[in-house]
């Protein structure tokens, strides 16, 4: 059935021309001798022409009242699609002998009609058949493909109004009274609930679309779609309207045959979204647009059928399915219908606009293990969106993120989001097939490391990276002991929590782990050097020996973040490396915190010390929030593991994760974030030092690049509770930081590297205010802009 609008041209009769006349036009104008048969049509006349050669074309005689520019638009659209997507099966225009797209021909009825000829596609209209298997998915794909092909199409005639347009259904209000009285309330109710639907689509993606990819215009052969025809309803509309028209058309048939409308909708949407992913703002409108289109169908039928008794069957052919579907869908209130379609599309899972929910804390405690998974801040934050250096809470308040090193290039960086979404749309699977992304990422990382570090193994978290580093070390050295600093953190796994002295309960120390003091500067200003590093490690090795262990691994975070953010001398780090090598163990630079440019001089902090680690662990910022991590090491170390076992982790280095990793490296590189970390970090620490003139609670400021450990103390010395009070006050003032250090007495400031100096200013002003509010100011004001 041709779902064309009734319009002015319907009041005039269709062209009164016959097959003999049409055959003459075809021969004279196109040079084609053919047998003609009449095809069904509402307002035009169409003839199927079969030439002696077997070639078939359709000769279309447009209504004399048809706006010629609309015909020109249809032709231009077909040419456009043929050009941008040549394999998409739509009719092609056949030119006249002299190369014209159309030709005006005077008919025996005295009127002049525009004639054109198009090619014939195989198959029959889908509304003539039972719906084949897989049709719904295919329908979605074809609809999206055509919409994509038409994306760049423009024609001045595209602004025309079509009565079938679901956004204009209110214009059909006068025909409600022509409906069966028992049905009027239902349709009036639909018209009421879709008030404003046009305005709601006004900001959605739109274009000059086919707007009639329906069962009557989709051709099927052997169970598969073979083509799309009839550009006669083209107009400028929201793409979700175009899609809703397609869905409505299928659902009418599904409803009429007792099928499952939700399943059919899900399939169409799946097929469609493989090419055109939809936004929440679109998917929430699909149901209402379907209802509007159904209302338009029954109203146009009520209007036209009585006026055209000869054509009654044709004009009411869509009614039965429409009524069934109207009954089904109006069972759902608008919100419920929206949420069903959003659920089918997956967009209900994107929760960027959550409202504050007072029950969330209790629900979280109940289901996430209570104290095992604590929240930050006395008054926990409900964050719903990220935007560069900002985090936005459910109440709409914006917080400056001075804490999260994971979002190294800023929250929701579009480059990473696009890389993840784009790759997820194409392929995401494990790494046991060849794939470009994982190889390229490994090559890129290895190229940033000293030559000896030639092998990259992917995992999914920092803990897995250090866990694997531990396993490689144990396998490689055949030893069993670990050496870490006091206040270390290397992970959460069964193998790495013993290496995380920061998390040990009071008085606990695993037998196979020895600790040494991190390189704090002494009160006299002296710092531990190479010799002292060796002494500390030697003592740890001796301690392990007492427990019957030789050292397999010495692990450090080269930024000593959990120890309060320390900046040791190169000599100290070299001393650690020399000492552990002398004892037969390996050296792990755990760059999970420090890596990816935070140190401000190089991508990796260990490079500042001129050492070559045996193992490097990468994690947190590696995917800017997407879980990906890695161990970089020498091939010989890995070979010792592969002599016994292989290493594979299902998600590790998958195409999506690797795409995220590549995007992060690109952005750090192209935006020069490492150097910026240096500049903004120096500025930040300089600003804190100036504030210290005013605020007696501010002590030493440490760090390099964009990280700062800021000691907080009161008159009695280091003060953990004051530090926590400052952290919480800063949160109330809209700035997020954490605490760190031996006694939890230092502020940990570790922002995304995209911070500019202006963000440091926001932090400094808030810190000034927080300390003032907490009564820890000496009354003098510092200059905040050094």
Closer to ligand PMP by Cβ: residue 336 or 373: 373
In terms of CB distance, is 480 or 503 closer to ligand PMP?
503
When asked if residue 740 is in the footprint of ligand PMP (CB under 6 A), the reply is no
- Pick from 66, 284, 557, 768 the residue near ligand PMP by CB under 6 A: 557
281 touches 197 (CB < 8 A): no
Q: Which is nearer to ligand PMP, 314 or 504 (CB)?
A: 504
Which of residues 466, 497, 654, 658 is near ligand PMP by CB under 6 A? 466
- Residue of 158, 292, 155 lying closest to 234 (CA atoms): 158
**Does 674 interact with ligand PMP (rule: CB under 6 A)?**
no
Q: If binding is defined by CB under 6 A, does position 484 make contact with ligand PMP? A: no
Is residue 242 involved in binding ligand PMP (CB under 6 A)? no
CB of 620 to ligand PMP, least distance (A): 6
Residue 491 lies near ligand PMP (rule: CB under 6 A): yes
The Cα 230–Cα 121 span in angstroms is: 12
Q: Does residue 713 belong to the site contacting ligand PMP (CB under 6 A)?
A: no
**C-alpha–C-alpha distance, residues 647 and 641, integer Å:** 8
Backbone angles phi, psi at 354, to 5 degrees: -65, 145
Binding of ligand PMP by 677 (CB under 6 A): no
Residue 165 within binding range of ligand PMP, rule CB under 6 A: no
CA gap 735, 727 in Å, rounded: 9
461 near ligand PMP, judged by CB under 6 A: yes
Shortest Cβ 598–ligand PMP spacing (Å):
11
Please, are residues 514 and 554 in contact by the beta-carbon 8 Å criterion?
no
> Is 290 buried (19+), middle (13-18) or exposed (0-12) by CB count in 10 A?
buried
3-state secondary structure of 444: helix
Using CB under 6 A as the binding rule, whether residue 471 contacts ligand PMP is answered as: no
Least Å from the CB of residue 497 to ligand PMP: 10
For 52, other C-beta atoms within 10 Å of its C-beta total 9
Q: Where are the beta strands (DSSP E) in 398-465?
A: 398-401, 455-459
Query: Residue 363 CB, nearest distance to ligand PMP (Å)?
Result: 24
Site size for ligand PMP, by CB under 6 A? 14
Contact pick of 123, 462, 519, 613 for ligand PMP (by CB under 6 A): 462
Tell me how far, at minimum, the Cβ of 382 lies from ligand PMP, in Å: 22
Quick note: the x/- pattern for ligand PMP over 560-599, rule CB under 6 A, is: ------------------------------x-xx------
Give the nearest distance from C-beta 158 to ligand PMP in angstroms: 52
490 binding ligand PMP? (CB under 6 A): yes
Q: Closest residue (Cβ) to ligand PMP?
A: 462
DSSP string, 520-569: PPPTTS----HHHHHHHHHHHHHHHHHTT--EEEEEE-TT-TTTT-----
Q: Which is nearer to ligand PMP, 81 or 622 (CB)?
A: 622
CB of 561 to ligand PMP, least distance (A): 6
Contact call for residue 492 and ligand PMP (CB under 6 A): yes
Q: Looking at 619, 699, 744, 751, which residue binds ligand PMP (CB under 6 A)?
A: 619
- Options 180-188, 248-256, 457-465, 479-487: segment touching ligand PMP (CB under 6 A): 457-465
Closest to ligand PMP by CB, 449 or 589: 589
- Other C-beta atoms lying within 10 Å of the C-beta of residue 477: 20
User: Residue 634 to residues 446, 450, 574, 585: CA-CA distances in angstroms?
Assistant: 10, 10, 19, 14
What is d(CA 252, CA 70) in angstroms, rounded to the nearest whole number?
A: 29
CA pair distance 194, 78, nearest whole angstrom: 33
How far is it, in rounded angstroms, from Cα 658 to Cα 423?
9
- Closer to ligand PMP by Cβ: residue 22 or 630: 630
Q: Is 614 helix (H, G, I), strand (E, B) or coil?
A: coil
Token pair, residue 555, equals 């692990």
Residue 604 and residue 616: Cα distance in Å, rounded? 9
CB contact set of 139 (below 8 Å; sequence gap of 6+): 126, 213, 218, 225, 246, 250, 268, 271
- Residues of this chain that interact with ligand PMP (CB under 6 A) are 461-463, 466, 489-492, 557, 590, 592-593, 619-620
């Amino acid at each position: 059935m041709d779902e064309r609008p009734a319009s002015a041209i319907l009041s005039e009769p269709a062209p009164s021309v016959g097959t003999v006349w049409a055959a003459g036009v075809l021969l004279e104008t196109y040079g084609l001798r053919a047998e003609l048969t009449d095809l069904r049509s509402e307002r035009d006349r169409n003839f199927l022409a079969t030439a002696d050669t077997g070639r078939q074309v359709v000769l279309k005689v447009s209504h004399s009242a048809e706006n010629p520019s609309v015909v020109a638009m249809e032709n231009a659209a077909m040419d456009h699609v043929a050009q941008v997507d040549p394999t998409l099966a739509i009719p092609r225009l056949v030119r006249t002998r002299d190369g014209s797209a159309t030709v005006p021909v005077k008919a025996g009825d005295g009127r002049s009609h525009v004639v054109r000829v198009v090619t014939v596609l195989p198959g029959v209209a889908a509304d003539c058949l039972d719906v084949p298997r897989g049709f719904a998915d295919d329908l979605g794909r074809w609809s999206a493909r055509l919409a994509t092909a038409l994306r760049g199409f423009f024609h001045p005639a595209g602004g025309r109004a079509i009565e079938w347009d679901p956004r204009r259904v209110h214009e059909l209000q006068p025909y409600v009274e022509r409906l069966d009285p028992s049905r009027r309330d239902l349709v009036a109710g639909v018209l009421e609930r879709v008030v404003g639907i046009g305005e709601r689509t006004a900001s959605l993606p739109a274009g000059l679309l086919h707007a009639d990819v329906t069962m009557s215009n989709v051709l099927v052969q052997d169970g598969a779609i073979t083509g799309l025809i009839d550009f006669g309803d083209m107009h400028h509309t929201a793409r979700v309207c175009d899609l809703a028209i397609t869905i409505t058309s299928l659902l009418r048939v599904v409803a009429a045959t007792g099928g499952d409308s939700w399943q059919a909708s899900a399939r169409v949407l799946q097929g469609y979204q493989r090419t055109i992913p939809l936004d929440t703002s679109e998917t929430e409108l699909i149901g209402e647009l379907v209802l509007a289109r159904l209302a338009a169908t029954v109203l146009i039928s009520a209007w036209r059928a009585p006026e055209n008794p000869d054509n009654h069957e044709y004009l009411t052919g869509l009614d039965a399915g429409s009524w069934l579907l109207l009954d089904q869908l109006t069972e759902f209130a608008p919100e419920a219908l929206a949420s069903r379609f959003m659920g089918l599309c997956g967009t209900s899972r994107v929760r960027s606009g959550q409202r504050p929910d007072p029950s969330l804390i209790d629900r979280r405690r109940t289901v996430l293990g209570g104290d095992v998974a604590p929240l930050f801040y006395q008054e926990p934050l409900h964050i719903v969106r990220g935007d560069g250096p900002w985090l936005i809470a459910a109440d709409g308040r914006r917080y400056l993120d001075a804490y999260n090193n994971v979002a190294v290039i800023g929250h929701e960086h579009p480059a990473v989001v696009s890389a993840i979404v784009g790759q997820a749309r194409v392929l995401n699977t494990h790494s046991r097939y060849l794939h470009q992304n994982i190889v390229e990422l490994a090559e890129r990382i290895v190229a940033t490391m000293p030559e000896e570090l030639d092998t990259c193994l992917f995992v999914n978290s920092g803990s897995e990276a250090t866990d694997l580093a531990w396993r490689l070390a144990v396998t490689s050295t055949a030893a069993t002991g670990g050496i870490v600093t006091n206040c270390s953190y290397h992970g959460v796994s069964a193998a790495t929590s013993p290496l995380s002295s920061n998390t040990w309960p009071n008085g606990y120390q695993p037998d196979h782990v020895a600790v040494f003091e991190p390189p704090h500067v002494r009160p006299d200003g002296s710092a531990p050097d190479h010799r002292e590093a060796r002494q500390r490690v030697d003592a740890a090795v001796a301690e392990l020996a007492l427990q019957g262990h030789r050292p397999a691994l010495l692990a450090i975070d080269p930024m000593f973040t959990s120890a309060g953010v320390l900046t040791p001398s190169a000599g100290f780090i070299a001393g650690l490396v020399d000492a552990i090598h002398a004892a037969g163990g390996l050296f792990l630079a755990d760059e999970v915190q420090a890596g990816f440019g935070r140190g401000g001089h190089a991508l990796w902090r260990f490079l500042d010390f001129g050492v070559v680690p045996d193992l490097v662990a990468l994690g947190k910022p590696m995917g800017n929030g997407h879980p990906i991590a890695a161990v970089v090491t020498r091939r010989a170390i890995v070979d010792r593991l592969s002599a016994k076992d292989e290493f594979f982790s299902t998600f590790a280095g998958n195409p999506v994760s690797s795409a995220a990793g590549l995007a992060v490296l690109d952005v750090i590189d192209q935006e020069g974030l490492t150097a910026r970390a240096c500049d903004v970090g120096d500025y930040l620490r300089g600003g804190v030092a100036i504030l210290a003139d005013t605020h007696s609670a501010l002590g030493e400021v440490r760090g390099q690049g964009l990280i700062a450990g800021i000691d907080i103390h009161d008159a009695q010395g280091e003060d953990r509770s004051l530090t926590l009070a400052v952290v919480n006050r800063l949160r109330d003032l809209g700035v997020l930081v954490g605490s760190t250090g031996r006694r939890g007495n230092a502020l940990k400031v570790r922002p995304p590297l995209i911070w500019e100096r202006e963000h440091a200013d926001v932090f400094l002003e808030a810190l000034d205010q927080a300390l003032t509010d907490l009564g820890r100011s000496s009354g003098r004001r510092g200059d905040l802009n050094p």
